[in-house]
Amino acid sequence: VNVRAQAAFEYLMTYSWAILIIGVVVGFLVYYGIFNPGSYVRPEAFGFSTFYVSENGWKLTADGKLTLIVQNQIDHRVEVTKIYANGETVPILTDLAPGESKMILDDHQLSGKSGAAGSSYKLKIAIEYNDTVTKLLHNDTGTLIGKFE
């Protein structure tokens, strides 16, 4: 009986050391941000159809200031009338020729959208525009994903 108890004790000690070492390594990796999904976020704009937003076409600062550059992708002029971002409406009146890129927001302060520099965000944007050919009002919606600067 004594030999079996010693064998069980040695078995538990061996695995305890292994679990302790694994715990220290995982703690080290978490501390240095290896498991932080925000560190792997690349800027991405998706969902837009009328307007093109390039990977470098926007910036959201840590204090919530948004700069946005868009390009008209359709074959005629459009008039941008409003932008909806983070639940607020930003009235704008600018027109874009086919293929033209223009900064439609320049350091616009978004209420309630701020974060630490380097942390990730996801921002839904809707661009309201008037089609100059059909004279109809449309919305082009998309999402911006990136890191606060």
Is the pLDDT at 35 greater than 90? The verdict is no
Label residues 108-138 b or e (16+ Cβ within 10 Å = b): bebeebbbeeeebbebebebbbbeeeeeeee
Do 114 and 65 contact (CB within 8 A), yes or no? Answer: no
Tell me the pLDDT band of 111, cut-offs 50, 70 and 90. confident
- Confirm whether pTM is higher than 0.75: no
pLDDT in the model for residue 30:
82
Is the pLDDT at 38 greater than 80? The verdict is no
Mean pLDDT of the residues in the chain: 90
The Cα 125–Cα 89 span in angstroms is 10
Among 19-28, 40-49, 87-96, the range scoring the smallest mean pLDDT is 40-49
